[in-house]
């Protein structure tokens, strides 16, 4: 094999390998400059993406603007049911207008608590339901 053929073969293999990778949707929140997730962010990542984001920010608090989440429904609730008993520490959710800091160990949440928060939010079609998901929302009762 001559040099140009070898280079062509390498380039072809590299391009074939790159095209076989599937792009995953962006799972990061938020997209606006103030660091606050909005309805478009929530729709883009879905409830499981929100949980993953909360897990990656443990335990600092993630700001989410109160949003209509009527684009989520029974399918998403069924997915979230798999997490309601999970005790993995995650960040709590807080609204940017919250008077509660919702940061630090005192406000640490769990994956299960936040899944329950999301389930109730889907039923009420608004998320988040409270100023701070671990301070003024008692879903474990």
Give the pLDDT mean for 114-141.
86
Q: How many structural domains comprise the chain?
A: 1
Identify whether 99 is part of a domain.
Answer: yes
Which segments within the chain are labelled E, that is strand?
Answer: 62-63, 67-68, 89-90, 93-94, 109-110, 126-127
Identify whether 98 is part of a domain.
Answer: yes
42 compared with 22, residue with greater pLDDT: 42
Q: How far apart are CA 117 and CA 137, in angstroms?
A: 8
pLDDT bracket for residue 12 (50, 70, 90): very low
CA 27 to chain centre: 7
Closest of 53, 55, 135, 125 to residue 95, by C-alpha: 135
Q: For residue range 73-100, what is the model confidence (pLDDT) as tens digits?
A: 999 999 999 999 999 999 999 998 887 7
Give the pLDDT mean for 125-135.
91
Q: What is the pLDDT of residue 32?
A: 57
Identify whether 18 is part of a domain.
Answer: no
Identify whether 79 is part of a domain.
Answer: yes
Q: For residue range 96-117, what is the model confidence (pLDDT) as tens digits?
A: 888 777 887 888 899 999 999 9
Identify whether 7 is part of a domain.
Answer: no
DSSP 30-69: --STTS-B-HHHHHHHHHHHHHHHHHHTTTS-EEB--EE-
Residue 87 belongs to what domain range? Answer: 24-127
Identify whether 60 is part of a domain.
Answer: yes
Q: Whole-prediction pTM value?
A: 0.75
């Amino acid at each position: 094999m001559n040099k140009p053929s070898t280079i062509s073969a390498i380039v072809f293999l590299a391009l074939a390998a790159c095209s076989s990778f599937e792009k995953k949707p962006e799972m990061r929140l938020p997209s606006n400059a103030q660091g606050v997730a909005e309805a478009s962010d929530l729709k883009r990542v879905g409830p499981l993406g929100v949980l993953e984001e909360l897990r990656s920010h443990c335990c600092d608090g993630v700001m989410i603007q109160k949003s209509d989440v009527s684009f989520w429904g029974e399918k998403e609730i069924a997915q979230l049911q798999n997490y309601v008993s999970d005790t993995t520490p995650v960040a709590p959710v807080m609204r940017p207008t919250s008077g509660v800091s919702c940061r630090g160990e005192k406000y640490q949440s769990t994956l299960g608590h936040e899944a329950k928060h999301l389930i109730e939010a889907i039923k009420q079609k608004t998320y988040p339901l409270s100023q701070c998901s671990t301070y003024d929302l008692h879903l474990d009762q």
